[in-house]
Amino acid sequence: MNINLIKEKIEQNINRPVEITVYGMRNKINFYEGIIKNIYPNIFTIYDNINEKSFSYRDIITGDIKIKFK
């Protein structure tokens, strides 16, 4: 998958809800739900009514995170 395709897909879904699964160290898995708020050259942010979290486009390519558009 190409990083530019990922950026386009995320840009098309700005201000829409997403589910993000983060695969961390030692088999730890975190789930986040929120709305894509901002996009930047290397990262994008989601807002879940309390916190704002940032994620890298590269993490999607490497499989460290999975993003599901609602």
Tokens (6 digits) for 40: 């930047």
Predicted local distance difference test score (pLDDT) of residue 39: 94
* Number of structural domains in the chain: 1
Predicted local distance difference test score (pLDDT) of residue 15: 93
Tokens (6 digits) for 50: 């309390």
CATH number of 34's domain = 2.30.30.100
Q: What is the mean pLDDT of residues 56-69?
A: 93
Domain that holds residue 35: 3-69
Whether 22 and 33 have beta carbons less than 8 Å apart is answered as: no
Question: What are the two backbone dihedrals, phi and then psi, of residue 7, each rounded to the nearest 5 degrees?
Answer: -60, -40
d(CA 35, CA 26): 28
Predicted local distance difference test score (pLDDT) of residue 11: 94
Per residue in 1-58, pLDDT (tens digit) is: 789 999 999 999 999 999 999 998 888 999 999 999 999 999 999 998 899 999 999 9
Whether 40 and 52 have beta carbons less than 8 Å apart is answered as: no
